[in-house]
A and B are shown apart, each in its own frame.
Chain A
Amino acid sequence: MNPRTRRGNMIIEAAMWIPICTLLLVGMAQIGKITYTYYTLRKTVYSIAQYISSQQAANFCDSADTVIAAGISFGITGTTDNTGTPLITGLTADMIQVTPELFDVTTQSLVNWDTTGCDTAAGGTTPQFIVVSIPNGYLIQPRIPLLPVLDPIPLKPVAKVPYGG
């Protein structure tokens, strides 16, 4: 076999392997990115839930309540007064939902904490659980060369912690 043919084989081999290796490596990096982002988001919602549940009072009836706003800001930026830069680019306070839950002793089931009586009763009893979620998800766009553009993946971590403590 002359060296020229052998060189040709090498090029074909390389042409076969390089896309596969690139896909694997890039895919790995993308999975890493998604995993890391999810982990950070999960810690964010958990921090918010922990912060709100351990404050002496949060008014869940008022969407602009200072304690809840401070908790969300704490999770997103690490500062309660919203002066820091967001830890995750593009994560904003309006994406985050705080839902109190109550364990109804008469029906022995979990119910959403009733906010209908907020104006008069200020929500009645204290909730038992604080659920922090990102209802519409934090969208992350996987970018893999050679493949068509994939749909963004919504990451929707949920954290639920007991109120108090």
Chain B
Amino acid sequence: MQRSLWGPVVTRNQNRKRNSQERGGVSIQMLVILVPVLFGFMGFAVDLGRLYLVKGELNQAASAMATAAASQLNGTTQAATAAANAAQSLLDDSLNSASRYNLGSIVIGQASVGLNSGVDPTALFATAQEAIAAAGQPGAVSAADGSTARHVTINLNADAPLLFWSLLSLGQSRHVSIAATAVAGMSAPLCTACGIEPFAIAPIDAGDTTNFGFTPGNAYTLGMQCTGAAPALLAGTTAPRVAYLIVDRYDSGGALLEDQQLFRIGAQGMIPSNPAFACSRINNTENIWATAAVRACAAPGVSQSVQNLLCGLSTRFTTTTPAACSANADLNDLVAAYPADTNSDSITDYPSYDGNSRRVITVAVVDALSTGGAMQVQGFRQFLLNPTPGVDPVANNPADANGRYAALYLGSVMPVKQGRFDGSCGATAGPGKVVLHQ
């Protein structure tokens, strides 16, 4: 007996009366039966493989969008818009780097031949539980406004094309919709915060683990610690005066000069690769920056190092260099690198602040200020820099004789860019960083 590809079928047909017409009919019959089966199985291999790939691409895009949006949540009303814009900027293809799917061929959110894709509006939530519950729910809407939102849910969907299954009756639309979702938000309090401003302040009330005795919404005068009778407060700020010391971040082997390093840190520039020059850890100790020494309050000015750091802070208000800083030629090259905050007004009601968070600083709260010994870090808290009244252009005053600047106490409103949770440090309050929940 002969065997061919269609052996069993032919064998069955051998029992019937055969003629040449019937025999021709076998192939066509087989074709009709086998082609859909074959295409079905080919679809499993090819189409299902591609759907899996597309799902991965969409998940990646959703994760990046959620993380970008969550990093903009700074506790202001404006944050809702900023978060939506940040998520949208991942779909901006002007630099050819937008999030794409289908083997990187279609930008998400843009229509392609017969294939649609779209992203639901960024949904904001105050708690991670609410945000996770909204994941995968198309049309989920924000349950929190920008000032209370801490977590973001992104839902998106896109049509993936079908190749073999599109030839079958069940896949006649030639595409199938795939959904992806991601949830990101502020984490638990960080133990190690990197790239924060190197100011150390003492608590007003060491027993208050949430705010260290500071009142959210109050503007304080932060001034360089000095000996003798304390200098006056800046106009519009409340007592007590908050003294600070500058934590040592000097990288003696760095490419930049010491005054440039101070300026860059104050201006929120790139942080050095070595964590020793960038990170503070709760319960670890910090020393003061050697050249930022304490002087008498009645002295004609603070040390040059303090002034350089304050010059860096002024870039957060204005791109015009204050006179006290332009005298230092080392800094002139750096000034242009830092954009100013979009809002440089004096703020008393933080939720109404609509800038881009350039003025938000994160400082270390230590057990007690000490020029000689080590200061133990108790936590990190955030302030909003306010301009010093009467300074033109609107900014803090780097030339202030006591290194004073005004800052609104915020608490822990905004995620820190970089940090770690390594080990247990016992922090129950403080800023976190953006993490992907799902």
B45 neighbours in A (Cβ, 8 Å): 28, 31-32
| B139 CB–A CB distance under 8 Å | no
- Considering only residues 39-79 of chain B, those with a C-beta below 8 Å from chain A are 42, 45-46, 49-50, 52-53, 56-57, 60, 63-64, 67-68, 70-71
Is A101 within 8 A of B195, CB to CB? no
Is A110 within 8 A of B2, CB to CB? no
A20 CB, nearest partner CB in chain B, Å: 10
| A148 CB–B CB distance under 8 Å | no
B122 CB, nearest partner CB in chain A, Å: 14
| A13 CB–B CB distance under 8 Å | yes
Of A31, A43, A54, A126, the residue contacting B49 (CB under 8 A) is A31
Of B2, B56, B279, B434, the residue contacting A42 (CB under 8 A) is B56
- Considering only residues 4-60 of chain A, those with a C-beta below 8 Å from chain B are 6-7, 9-10, 13-14, 17-18, 24, 28, 31-32, 35-36, 38-39, 42-43, 46, 54-60
A41's nearest neighbour on chain B, judged by CB, is B104
| A96 CB–B CB distance under 8 Å | no
Is B271 within 8 A of A56, CB to CB? yes
| B268 CB–A CB distance under 8 Å | yes
B-contacting 9-mer, from A73-81, A85-93, A157-165: A157-165
Is A164 within 8 A of B418, CB to CB? yes
Is B269 within 8 A of A122, CB to CB? yes
Q: A109-B94, A110-B89, A163-B417 are in contact. Are A7 and B2 (CB under 8 A)?
A: yes
B268 neighbours in A (Cβ, 8 Å): 125-126
Is A165 within 8 A of B435, CB to CB? yes
Q: A57-B194, A161-B67 are in contact. Are A28 and B42 (CB under 8 A)?
A: yes
| B275 CB–A CB distance under 8 Å | yes
Is A67 within 8 A of B273, CB to CB? yes
Is B60 within 8 A of A114, CB to CB? no
- Considering only residues 116-148 of chain A, those with a C-beta below 8 Å from chain B are 117, 119-126, 128-129, 131, 133
- Considering only residues 19-42 of chain B, those with a C-beta below 8 Å from chain A are 19-20, 23, 27, 38, 42
| B360 CB–A CB distance under 8 Å | no
A10's nearest neighbour on chain B, judged by CB, is B4
Of A60, A103, A114, the residue contacting B86 (CB under 8 A) is A103
Of A106, A128, A158, the residue contacting B104 (CB under 8 A) is A158
A162 to B46, CA, bound (A): 33
Is B337 within 8 A of A165, CB to CB? no
Is B67 within 8 A of A120, CB to CB? no
Q: A109-B94, A124-B270, A162-B86 are in contact. Are A6 and B433 (CB under 8 A)?
A: no
A66's nearest neighbour on chain B, judged by CB, is B273
A110 CB, nearest partner CB in chain B, Å: 5
Is B278 within 8 A of A125, CB to CB? no
| B391 CB–A CB distance under 8 Å | no
Is B49 within 8 A of A122, CB to CB? no
| A99 CB–B CB distance under 8 Å | yes
Of A7, A24, A114, the residue contacting B337 (CB under 8 A) is A114
A165's nearest neighbour on chain B, judged by CB, is B434
Q: A14-B5, A103-B86, A163-B417 are in contact. Are A57 and B272 (CB under 8 A)?
A: yes
A94 CB, nearest partner CB in chain B, Å: 20
A93 to B271, CA, bound (A): 24
Chain B 326-345: CB-based contact to A (< 8 A → 1; otherwise 0): 00000001101111001000
A165 neighbours in B (Cβ, 8 Å): 67, 70-71, 184, 415, 417, 433-436
Is B104 within 8 A of A129, CB to CB? no
Of B92, B99, B264, the residue contacting A121 (CB under 8 A) is B264
Is B95 within 8 A of A162, CB to CB? no
- Considering only residues 255-289 of chain B, those with a C-beta below 8 Å from chain A are 255-256, 260, 264, 267-275, 278-279
A86 to B6, CA, bound (A): 45
Of A117, A131, A163, the residue contacting B333 (CB under 8 A) is A117
B60 neighbours in A (Cβ, 8 Å): 42, 46, 159
| B218 CB–A CB distance under 8 Å | no
B193 CB, nearest partner CB in chain A, Å: 10
A26 to B56, CA, bound (A): 25
A36 to B53, CA, bound (A): 8
| A105 CB–B CB distance under 8 Å | yes
B417 CB, nearest partner CB in chain A, Å: 4
B345 CB, nearest partner CB in chain A, Å: 16
A7 neighbours in B (Cβ, 8 Å): 2
B23 neighbours in A (Cβ, 8 Å): 1, 6, 9
A115 to B415, CA, bound (A): 26
A38 to B60, CA, bound (A): 14
A65 to B70, CA, bound (A): 28
List the 3 closest pairs (A to B, CB-CB), nearest first. A124-B337, A165-B434, A164-B417
27 contacts across the A-B interface (CB closer than 8 A): A1-B19, A17-B5, A24-B42, A31-B46, A32-B46, A35-B50, A38-B53, A38-B103, A38-B104, A46-B60, A57-B194, A57-B270, A57-B273, A61-B270, A105-B342, A117-B334, A120-B333, A121-B269, A121-B338, A122-B255, A125-B337, A126-B195, A128-B89, A129-B68, A129-B89, A155-B104, A162-B68
Other contacts beyond A122-B256, A125-B338: 13, CB < 8 A: A6-B2, A7-B2, A31-B45, A35-B103, A36-B49, A38-B103, A57-B270, A105-B339, A106-B339, A122-B255, A126-B270, A155-B103, A160-B99
Interface residues in chain B, defined as those with a beta carbon under 8 Å from any beta carbon in chain A = 2, 4-6, 10, 18-20, 23, 27, 38, 42, 45-46, 49-50, 52-53, 56-57, 60, 63-64, 67-68, 70-71, 86, 89-90, 92, 94-100, 103-104, 184, 194-195, 255-256, 260, 264, 267-275, 278-279, 333-334, 336-339, 342, 356, 415-420, 433-436
